[in-house]
């Protein structure tokens, strides 16, 4: 009998009020049932938000350095358990163990970085225009933060949201993706063990429209932090727009790597392989388009296709495996659909293009690394996010054309250019429309102390990570302290 996991509401582990559960299965071997998780609905959300609201009354008064100490402890527990957490994450999500270790490490990095903010949370002090008067600005917590997360970084993304939100003095309710609830369960166990008071951290698992939407729309939620698809992000923007609550959106991408004729070609091939096929292409920052300068395009493509054809595919826990399955049947079907679209659009299938369904791959959602050549900027496979191991190669005649093609998408998350010409690199930094630009590195590899997010339809202007995440989870308050003992009218008495 599979283990039944529970929600965390007000410091107690409880089932959904409906008593129903949903299954979590291993995408590399769907016969492995990892566990059953509560199928929560609006009434569970209501209870969790109620608990968080109540806990906020005292949590906001705990000094920030003390709140941060609990986050440091959580980081230490995560560090001690990194290996077992990574193994469980590979079981539920499919990416290879080296990458799930990296995912847990990102949570650890985030814990330490966010905890440091407990002793900063800087505001400004500034002179008043009036005598005997002091002026300053301080950051205040917002209240209950609703965190809604996708499955591709099952521990890193919840941590990116939870740790800074908590250090800033908010209480939280997290709804993770139904594909990866186990990693969130582990994270909340860790937070509890680290000493979070009851009600400060709450976890509800369940579907997007039945659990995520009521959470985002709940009137006692002050801020919603969402990472996921642009389609759902737009729905949430409409819903939260009605109540004018704060909403931070981290959405899709159609990231490109440019390779110019002066690049270190070996390095660029290595970068393209990692960017396109790492995490089975299921990163919001994955390299989905490769833009090659014509003089090197043919040779680069030949070598890349040969190397991608060697990628070892299988269960991410097995030694030597470099690429795991897609996360679900639905995700593999999406990949399959885009392969068909690419074919019909006239792109040339250079590698892969099929699901793997035999032998060691028979019970998993495996798909071959796939590369299309002769892709033109207007094709759907050059415009739409696929979120799988599919790379589209476009060829350009100049640096200017490369930047124009790179920018020709509704998204703007990550970008990369390989060149040894410093002038080209500097112009690329200036002209690329994206939240992240790598020079001589692939499109993936963000670090927690730099702002993370994108432009255009990748988001709505917020940046997670870094100190910029505090602008999501705090309100500014301006404070004027008059010690003159008389009424002083700004703009009037002093002019
Ligand atoms: P998704 O939008 O389907 O789901 C994300 C989360 O939203 C899940 O928890 C889901 O249950 C929930 N959800 C679904 N419908 C909802 C609704 N109506 N109301 C409230 N919540 C709802 O995305 P996904 O398939 O889990 O993740 C893949 C997407 O996430 C890709 O588009 C990818 O680019 C994006 N992503 C972006 C970033 C980033 O930082 N920009 C990072 C990782 C993933």
Looking at the structure, tell me whether residues 243 and 373 fall in a common domain.
no
Q: Minimal CA–CA distance to 446: which of 304, 229, 250? A: 250
Residue 385 in contact with ligand 1 by CB distance below 6 A: yes
**For the chain, what percent of residues have pLDDT higher than 90?**
99
Q: Ligand 1 center to residue 254 CA distance, Å?
A: 15
Spot the catalytic one: 211, 284, 385, 464: 284
Q: Which of 250, 385, 457, 464 is catalytic?
A: 250
- Looking at the fold, whether 213 and 284 belong to one and the same domain comes out as no
Residue 4, beta-bridge partner list: 36
Residues 175 and 302 in one domain: no
Opening angle at CA 256, ends 251 and 260, nearest 5: 160
pLDDT tens readout for residues 109-127: 999 999 999 999 999 999 9
**Phi/psi at 488 (5° precision):** -120, 120
User: 58: helix, coil or strand?
Assistant: helix
237 found inside a domain: yes
Residue 452 has pLDDT above 80, yes or no: yes
Total domains, the chain: 2
Distance of CA 228 from the midpoint of ligand 1 (Å): 2
Q: What is the CATH number of the domain that holds 84?
A: 3.40.605.10
- Is-contact 393 373, C-beta < 8 A? yes
Query: What is the chain's mean pLDDT, rounded?
Result: 98
Ligand 1 atom nearest residue 284's Cα? 34
The answer to whether 416 touches 248, Cβ cutoff 8 Å, is no
187 and 272 together in one domain: no
Alpha helices in 5-96 (DSSP H): 42-59, 64-80, 82-93
Q: Are residues 232 and 337 in the same domain?
A: no
45 CB within 6 A, ligand 1: no
179 lines ligand 1 (CB under 6 A): no
For residue 332, the Cα-to-chain-centroid distance in whole angstroms is 20
**Would you say residue 491 lies in a domain?**
no
The contacts of residue 323 (CB under 8 Å, 6+ apart) are 96, 277, 278, 280, 311, 312, 313, 369, 389
pLDDT band for 1, please (50, 70, 90 cuts): confident
CA distances from 5 to 38, 68, 182, 416 (A): 7, 28, 8, 41
398 and 475, same domain (yes or no): no
Full-model pTM: 0.98
Assess whether 28 and 174 both reside in one domain.
yes
Within a domain: residue 282?
A: yes
Query: Is 92:182 a contact under the CB 8 Å cutoff?
Result: yes
pLDDT of residue 235: 97
Tell me, yes or no, whether 97 and 118 share the same domain. Answer: yes
446 lies in some domain: no
CB 456 within 8 A of CB 116: no
Q: Is the pLDDT of residue 486 over 80?
A: yes
**Residue 370 lies in domain:** 255-439
Is 228 a pocket residue for ligand 1 (Cβ < 6 Å)? yes
DSSP H helical segments within 195-328, as ranges?
Answer: 213-217, 230-243, 265-277, 294-308
Residue 48 lies inside a defined structural domain of this protein:
yes
pLDDT in tens, 395-430: 999 999 999 999 999 999 999 999 999 999 999 999
Q: What CATH number does residue 368 fall under?
A: 3.40.309.10
Mean pLDDT of 459-486: 98
Find out whether the beta carbon of 251 lies less than 6 Å from any atom of ligand 1.
yes
* 140 catalytic per annotation: no
The torsion angles phi and psi of 240, rounded to 5 degrees, stand at: -80, -20
190 plus 333 within the same structural domain:
no
In a domain, 485, yes or no: no
Q: Do 21 and 1 contact (CB within 8 A), yes or no? A: no
CA-to-CA separations, 272 to 17, 86, 265, 301, 315, in angstroms, rounded: 47, 25, 10, 11, 22
d(CA 155, CA 187): 7
Asked if residue 386 lies in contact with residue 328, where contact means CB atoms within 8 angstroms, the answer is no
Instruction: Tell me, yes or no, whether 232 and 294 share the same domain.
Output: no
Residue 233 CA to ligand 1 center (angstroms) comes to 8
């Amino acid at each position: 009998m599979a283990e039944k996991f529970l929600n965390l509401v007000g410091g107690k582990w409880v089932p959904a009020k409906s008593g129903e559960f949903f299954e979590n299965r291993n995408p590399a071997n769907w016969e492995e049932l990892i566990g059953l998780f509560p199928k929560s609905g609006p009434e569970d959300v209501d209870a969790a938000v109620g608990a968080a609201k109540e806990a906020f009354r005292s949590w906001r008064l705990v000094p920030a350095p003390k709140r941060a100490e609990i986050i440091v402890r959580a980081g230490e527990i995560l560090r001690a358990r990194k290996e077992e957490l990574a193994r469980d994450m590979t079981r539920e999500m499919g990416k290879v163990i080296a990458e799930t270790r990296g995912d847990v490490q990102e949570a650890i990095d985030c814990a330490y970085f966010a905890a440091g903010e407990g002793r900063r949370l800087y505001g400004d002090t500034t002179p008043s225009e009036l005598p005997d008067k002091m002026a300053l600005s301080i950051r205040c917590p917002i209240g209950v933060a609703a965190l809604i997360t996708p499955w591709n970084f099952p521990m890193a993304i919840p941590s990116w949201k939870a740790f800074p939100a908590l250090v800033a003095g908010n209480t939280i309710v997290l709804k993770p993706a139904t594909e990866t609830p186990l990693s969130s369960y582990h994270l909340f166990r860790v937070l509890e063990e680290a000493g979070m008071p009851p009600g400060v951290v709450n976890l509800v698992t369940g579907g997007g429209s039945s659990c995520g939407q009521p959470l985002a729309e709940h009137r006692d939620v002050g801020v919603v932090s969402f990472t996921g698809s642009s389609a759902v992000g737009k729905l949430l923007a409409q819903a939260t727009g009605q109540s004018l609550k704060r909403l931070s959106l981290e959405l899709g991408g159609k990231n490109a790597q440019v390779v110019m004729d002066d690049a270190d070609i070996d390095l660029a091939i290595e970068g393209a392989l990692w960017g396109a096929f790492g995490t089975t292409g299921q990163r919001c920052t994955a390299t989905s388009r490769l833009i090659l300068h014509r003089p090197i395009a043919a040779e680069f493509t030949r070598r890349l296709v040969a190397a991608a054809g060697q990628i070892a595919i299988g269960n991410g826990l097995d030694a030597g495996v470099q690429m795991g399955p897609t996360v679900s049947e639905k995700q593999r079907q999406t990949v399959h659909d885009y392969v068909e679209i690419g074919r019909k659009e006239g792109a040339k299938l250079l590698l892969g293009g099929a699901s793997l369904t035999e032998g060691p791959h028979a019970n998993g959602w495996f798909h071959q690394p796939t590369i299309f050549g002769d892709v033109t900027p207007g094709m759907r496979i050059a415009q739409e996010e696929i979120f799988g191991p599919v790379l589209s190669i476009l060829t350009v005649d100049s640096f200017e054309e490369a930047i124009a093609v790179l920018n020709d998408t509704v998204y703007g998350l990550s970008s990369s250019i390989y060149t040894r010409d410093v002038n080209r690199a500097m112009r690329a930094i200036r002209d690329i429309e994206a939240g992240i630009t790598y020079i001589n590195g692939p499109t993936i590899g963000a670090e927690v102390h730099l702002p993370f997010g994108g432009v255009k339809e990748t988001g709505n202007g917020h940046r997670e990570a870094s100190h910029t995440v505090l602008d999501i989870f705090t309100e500014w308050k301006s404070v004027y302290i008059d010690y003159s003992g008389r009424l002083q009218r700004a703009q009037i008495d002093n002019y």
